[in-house]
Amino acid sequence: MSITILGIESSCDDTSASILKDGIIYSNIIANQTVHMDYGGVVPELASRAHQQNIIPVVHQAMQKAGVTADEIDAVAFTRGPGLLGSLMVGTSFAKGFAMAKNIPLIEVNHLQAHILAHFIDDLKNTYDHPEFPFLALLVSGGNSQIIIVKDHLEMEVIGETIDDAAGEAFDKCAKVMGLPYPGGPIIDRNAKQGNPHAFEFSRPKIQGLDYSFSGLKTSFLYFIRDKVKENPNFVQENMNDLCASLQYTIVDILMNKVKRAARETGIKQVAIAGGVSANSGLQNALHEAADKFNWKVYVPQLGYSLDNAAMIAITGYFKYLKKEFVGQDTAPFARMTI
């Protein structure tokens, strides 16, 4: 029997819809919101409004591109959380209305799980190499930094996580200190390629076990820049590439140290990275270096599936559909959902 799933993602500032047929992604449409650029971060109310404007056109495009009509969809999967409540409500309400109108099952998806399950996506262009269970996942985004043992598609155990800021937040907040626009992560990555990663040294957290902390680094970076700018108002502009390279080196080193420890302690030699920060070239290089050194097999998500997207919601919905994990029409979004 053929299964067609509509995936909906609206947790933050991207509105996305995807069509999956029998485990294969047929379309993945993402509408990015540009309204936040002038504000140094996502403005929740503007995000909700933009989702409201985008959701129907994005779903239409996803169905058109896949050559699927609304009558052919067997289930609708949506991001229930975590995320901004007002943003989540738009996708959730759309999914509930669609499921009710078509009398089809409704599947709630945890956005964090979906980032990890993006590693199981195949699309019309390619079949990719998928991890085998159990594997370690380093989930690094704007809101999360976690190390997870993935035992099965829907069975995950968090063994380490940030006690304060996420890695993406550290990138974005430090970028803001340097006067760079939001989101600063990709810009730091670009600048870092021209800079010296050892030009400056920043403080590293001393946290027990497998947990992370990034707020100390953010504060020390802020004070460092403040003091240097007092001496030389052009300090940031004159040293931009070296600052970006040194900061990125520090964040990646903090992330990788705990992943290496997790691999040592669990004996697991397959490591996948997921979430927006997994696009970082420094992190990808460090992961490949560790793979050579420790004989790991590593997995980096395809670019189109690493940032927020509905294909990862659709593939998670597919695994839940196979287990008949449906929810009722009384479901509601949950901003602080965890794995």
81 interacts with ligand KG4 by CB under 6 A: no
Residues 310-329 that bind ligand KG4 (CB under 6 A): none
With respect to ligand KG4, which residue has the nearer C-beta, 123 or 308? 308
In the block, residue with structure tokens 């829907």: 154
Among 183, 195, 301, 317, binds ligand KG4 (CB under 6 A): 183
Q: What is the distance between the alpha carbons of residues 19 and 124, in angstroms, rounded to a whole number?
A: 11
Closest to 45 in 3D by CA, of 109, 105, 89, 1: 89
Q: What ranges in 103-234 are assigned the alpha helix state H? A: 111-117, 167-177, 185-192, 215-231
Q: What is the distance between the alpha carbons of residues 244 and 222, in angstroms, rounded to a whole number?
A: 13
Sequence-distant (≥ 6) Cβ neighbours of residue 310 within 8 angstroms:
7, 8, 9, 16, 17, 18, 28, 29, 30, 62
Is 111 a known ligand-binding residue? yes
Q: What is the distance between the alpha carbons of residues 325 and 31, in angstroms, rounded to a whole number?
A: 28
With respect to ligand KG4, which residue has the nearer C-beta, 66 or 279? 279
What are the DSSP E strand ranges found in 62-121?
Answer: 75-81, 106-110
CB of 284 to ligand KG4, least distance (A): 9
Q: What is the distance between the alpha carbons of residues 109 and 8, in angstroms, rounded to a whole number?
A: 9
Residues 256-275 that bind ligand KG4 (CB under 6 A): 275
Among 86, 105, 131, 186, binds ligand KG4 (CB under 6 A): 186
CB of 102 to ligand KG4, least distance (A): 29
Binding characters for ligand KG4, 9-28, by CB under 6 A (x = yes): ---x----------------
With respect to ligand KG4, which residue has the nearer C-beta, 105 or 184? 184
Containing 15, the helix (H) or strand (E) segment is strand 14-21
Residues 148-177 that bind ligand KG4 (CB under 6 A): 168, 171-172
Residues 201-240 that bind ligand KG4 (CB under 6 A): none
Is 97 a known ligand-binding residue? no
With respect to ligand KG4, which residue has the nearer C-beta, 98 or 172? 172
Sequence-distant (≥ 6) Cβ neighbours of residue 11 within 8 angstroms:
79, 81, 82, 83, 84, 87, 88, 91, 111, 308
* DSSP type of residue 153: T
Binding characters for ligand KG4, 105-144, by CB under 6 A (x = yes): ------------------------------------xxx-
With respect to ligand KG4, which residue has the nearer C-beta, 27 or 309? 309
Residue 57: cis peptide before it, omega within 30 degrees of 0:
no
Dihedral of the CA atoms 112, 136, 203, 292 (nearest 10)? -130
CB of 213 to ligand KG4, least distance (A): 17
Q: Which residue is nearest to ligand KG4 (CB)?
A: 276
CB of 149 to ligand KG4, least distance (A): 20
78 interacts with ligand KG4 by CB under 6 A: no
CB of 54 to ligand KG4, least distance (A): 16
Among 98-106, 182-190, 231-239, 254-262, which window interacts with ligand KG4 (CB under 6 A)? Answer: 182-190
CB of 4 to ligand KG4, least distance (A): 26
Q: What is the distance between the alpha carbons of residues 32 and 50, in angstroms, rounded to a whole number?
A: 9
Closest to 72 in 3D by CA, of 33, 30, 102: 102
- Residue 245: how many CB atoms within 10 A of its CB? 24
Among 69-77, 94-102, 277-285, 326-334, which window interacts with ligand KG4 (CB under 6 A)? Answer: 277-285
Annotated binding site for Fe cation: 111, 115, 308
Residues of the shown chain interacting with ligand KG4 in the complex, contacts defined by CB under 6 A: 12, 141-143, 168, 171-172, 183-186, 189, 275-277, 279-280, 307-308
Annotated binding site for substrate: 139-143, 172, 185, 189, 280
